Chain A
Amino acid sequence: RKEVEQDPGPFNVPEGATVAFNCTYSNSASQSFFWYRQDCRKEPKLLMSVYSSGNEDGRFTAQLNRASQYISLLIRDSKLSDSATYLCVVNNGGSYIPTFGRGTSLIVHP
């Protein structure tokens, strides 16, 4: 089983839709969690950290479920500019080495 797993998609949604991605991780000792966004042929950029109590940044909401070992990203009112690949990142704390998921592709169409 891979350490971090994501549904690669693509998720194809119309503008204005709400879409959610999940990411599962295998190491129960994982301590830090992030969502990154990567545009085609560009570097990954931090979208948001994921806190235990859940957190929101505008149209984006991130949740952590330690019992089931997954994190989620919810995007409300999708924009064309949200089209990208969303990477789940898990840090095991002790090693400080991040593990990246393969990413979930989102395509928002008019």
Chain B
Amino acid sequence: GESVGLHLPTLSVQEGDNSIINCAYSNSASDYFIWYKQESGKGPQFIIDIRSNMDKRQGQRVTVLLNKTVKHLSLQIAATQPGDSAVYFCAERTGGYQKVTFGTGTKLQVIP
């Protein structure tokens, strides 16, 4: 996705509920799609990735879904916790395995 505007989209979720963060990507040639979490004052932290030839991958409490038909990526977080509060970025890898382009972030707010 492209970065637009000055305001981050925000998702507010009750603690214990599941969260779904969505992302639209642009490059059909990307070989990997990645989710990063960025907490305030820190650098991005890798969460999970998925190869372009897959449509689902699960990690610990997280699931990434890839729909290449509509160029859509989602991150599902199960049983959301206060520590999950952060900005989440999707990213895609292109350019001979070296170039990673970040999409517009989504701010996740967990309500205790």
To the question of whether A and B form a pair in one complex, the answer is no
Residues in chain A within 8 A of chain B (CB atoms) = none
